[in-house]
């Protein structure tokens, strides 16, 4: 304990001396020409700040610098293991001023900010901490370590994994808050300023889009993840041998696959909540990623690839590309683990959630009709029509009711679903214009008979967040 106290006292004294001599040291380096960057007239402020921080850290501790860093680093790890994440993050922040060229310290601190600290706050307050982790890596670590694959990997992974997936129960809020930040006219001054703030370079964006054959929509977390992963993958060739470089390829591939299944944002009426539908433009790029992975792990990934094939066929159908869906089914027959007599048979078998049990046709019909109505209300016509077509496929498969009565027609089911939604939506005057844009909601009479439809518990692609009258 005495040794630790003595070390801390020495550390404090050294830092005080450094503060007194900081300006003189920088000026002497400039006059002596010891640093070409600081000797130039027009110097980026970030570079100057970075250099000053290194000078300060070096001058502060002298020969004790390495010992102090080791001590503080061990202490930060202990705090992390004890789940004292705030203290660990604060200490790691101090260590970065002493050893800014060590990517592991930045990554340690960013992981605390983006992953460990947010659960201590209510869901609505967590994105602030995730964003602080992003800023730390993007505006801090990369300034000092512009050639470190590990920094690009961690920055890309925060977008692809922490925001893009449901790593915690606030995942949909993270995605919505990021989408709102970038829900701008791409050519507007505000959009250009936002892209500059987030260090997204138009020229490099164009290169990534040309590589993967689709335009990036930065309302999606995976677009950011792919951008930063590609930035890391374009480092000098010697970085390619690193483990972090291999992980960068994995993050880039995961971002592409997630874009193919959820890269099309749809905003809810009246509020900043977004659902994310498949972006079928990324299906070829995602297929290429799978092919590369299969060449290394064929046995382990074969089942996942078959699931991917079935889903992308359905995605094309939902996007209104029925002929392309049929062609992809024909091209995939040899690869799928079973023979489908028709496209409709594959669509009927499909389950959107890997965890969901097999649903009966009536529940699927209710879900797809609700999805149609919510998307139509949000102004997403293409996928609204796709879910309506999918609902027709399901309705045709329904067993007739007992007693020899004629089965309800498709329009009867659509009216039943519409009336159920209309009762809530008509109470919100601000929805009047949006309601006029949904043909299924026009002229509904509540007293008319209707077939029974089960109440959906959840919708494909979490489309329930589009309901402007829900509490979510």
Contacts of 369 (CB under 8 A, 6+ apart): 387, 388, 391, 413, 414, 417, 453
DSSP annotation of 341: S
pLDDT at site 24:
43
Task: State residue 44's pLDDT score.
Answer: 42
Domain ranges of the chain: 1-100
pLDDT band at 22; cut points 50, 70, 90: very low
What whole-number percentage of the chain has pLDDT above 70? 74
Instruction: Kindly state the average pLDDT of the residues 449-457.
Output: 81
Highest mean pLDDT among 54-58, 126-130, 280-284: 280-284
Task: Kindly report the average pLDDT of the chain as a whole number.
Answer: 82
Which tens digits make up the pLDDT trace of 275-304? 999 999 999 999 999 999 888 877 778 889
| Model confidence, pTM | 0.82
**Would you state the pLDDT for residue 222?**
98
Place of tokens 């000078």: 55
From 15-24, 114-123, 187-196, the region with the lowest mean pLDDT: 15-24
Name which residue leads in pLDDT, 124 or 470: 124
Note the helical H segments in 99-241.
Answer: 103-111, 127-135, 142-144, 149-157, 171-181, 189-197, 202-212, 221-233
Which of 91-95, 145-149, 383-387, 467-471 reaches the highest mean pLDDT? 383-387
Determine the pLDDT at residue 74: 63
What's the pLDDT score for residue 152?
A: 96
Give the span between the Cα atoms of 391 and 385, in whole angstroms.
Answer: 10
- Give, in degrees to the nearest 5, the angle at Cα 90 between 85 and 91: 100
- Nearest residue to 310 (alpha-carbon basis) of 346, 344, 283: 346
Q: What is the pLDDT of residues 338-373, one digit of tens each?
A: 899 999 999 998 877 655 556 788 899 999 999 999
93-97, 226-230, 252-256, 428-432: segment of lowest average pLDDT: 93-97
For residue 340, the number of C-alpha atoms closer than 13 Å in the C-beta half-sphere is 23
Rg (CA), the chain: 28
Note the residue count of the chain. Answer: 472
User: Residue 323's pLDDT is what?
Assistant: 97
Among the residue ranges 51-65, 116-130, 251-265, the one predicted with the least confidence is 51-65
pLDDT score, position 260: 97
SS3 category, 276: strand
Which of 21-30, 131-140, 265-274 bottoms out in mean pLDDT, i.e. has the lowest?
A: 21-30
Q: What is the pLDDT of residues 201-246, one digit of tens each?
A: 999 999 999 999 999 999 999 999 999 999 999 987 766 667 888 8
Of the chain, the percentage scoring pLDDT greater than 90 comes to 49
344 vs 442: which has the higher pLDDT: 344
Q: Quickly list DSSP for 220-265.
A: SHHHHHHHHHHHHHTS-GGGGGSHHHHHHHHHHHHHHHHHHHH-EE
For the chain, the distance separating the N- and C-terminal CA atoms, rounded to the nearest angstrom, is 51
Q: What average pLDDT does this structure show over 241-252?
A: 88
Residue 68, pLDDT score: 59
User: Can you give the pLDDT at residue 37?
Assistant: 33
């Amino acid at each position: 304990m005495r040794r630790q106290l003595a070390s801390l006292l020495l550390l404090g004294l050294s830092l005080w001396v450094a503060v007194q001599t900081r300006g003189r040291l920088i000026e002497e380096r400039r006059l002596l020409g010891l640093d070409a960057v600081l000797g130039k007239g027009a110097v980026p402020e970030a570079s100057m700040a970075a250099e000053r921080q290194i000078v300060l850290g070096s001058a502060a501790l002298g020969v004790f610098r390495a010992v102090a860093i080791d001590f503080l680093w061990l202490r930060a790890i202990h705090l992390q293991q004890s789940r004292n994440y705030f203290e660990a993050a604060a200490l790691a922040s101090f260590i970065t001023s002493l050893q800014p060229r060590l990517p592991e310290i930045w990554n340690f601190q960013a992981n605390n900010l983006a992953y460990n600290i947010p659960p201590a706050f209510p869901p609505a307050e967590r994105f602030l901490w995730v964003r602080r982790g992003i800023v730390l890596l993007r505006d801090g670590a990369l300034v000092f370590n512009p050639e470190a694959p590990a920094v690009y990997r961690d920055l890309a992974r925060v977008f692809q994994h922490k925001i893009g997936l449901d790593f915690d129960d606030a995942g949909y809020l993270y995605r919505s808050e990021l989408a709102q930040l970038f829900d701008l006219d791409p050519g507007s001054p505000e959009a250009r300023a936002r892209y500059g703030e987030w260090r997204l370079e138009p020229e490099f964006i164009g290169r990534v889009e040309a590589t993967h054959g689709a335009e990036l929509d930065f309302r999606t977390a995976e677009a950011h993840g792919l951008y930063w992963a590609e930035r890391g993958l374009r480092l000098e060739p010697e970085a390619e041998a690193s483990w972090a470089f291999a992980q960068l390829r994995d993050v880039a591939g995961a971002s592409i696959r997630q874009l193919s299944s959820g890269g099309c944002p749809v905003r809810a009426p009246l509020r900043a909540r977004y659902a994310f539908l498949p972006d079928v433009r990324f299906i070829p790029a995602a297929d290429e990623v799978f092919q590369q992975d299969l060449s290394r792990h064929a046995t382990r990934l074969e089942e996942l690839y078959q699931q991917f094939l079935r889903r992308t066929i359905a995605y094309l159908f939902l996007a209104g590309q029925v002929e392309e869906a049929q062609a992809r089914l024909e091209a995939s027959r040899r690869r799928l683990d079973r023979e489908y007599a028709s496209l409709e048979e594959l669509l009927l078998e499909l389950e959107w959630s890997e965890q969901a049990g097999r649903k009966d046709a009536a529940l699927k019909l209710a879900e797809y009709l609700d999805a149609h109505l919510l998307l139509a209300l949000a102004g997403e016509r293409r996928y609204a029509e796709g879910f309506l077509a999918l609902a027709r496929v399901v309705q045709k498969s329904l067993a007739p009711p007992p007693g020899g009565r004629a089965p309800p027609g498709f329009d009867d089911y659509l009216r039943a679903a519409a009336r159920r939604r209309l009762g809530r939506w008509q109470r919100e005057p601000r929805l009047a214009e949006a309601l006029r844009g949904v043909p299924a909601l026009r002229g509904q009479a509540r007293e008319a008979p209707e077939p029974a439809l089960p109440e959906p518990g959840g919708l494909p692609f979490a489309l329930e967040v589009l309901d402007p009258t829900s509490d979510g």
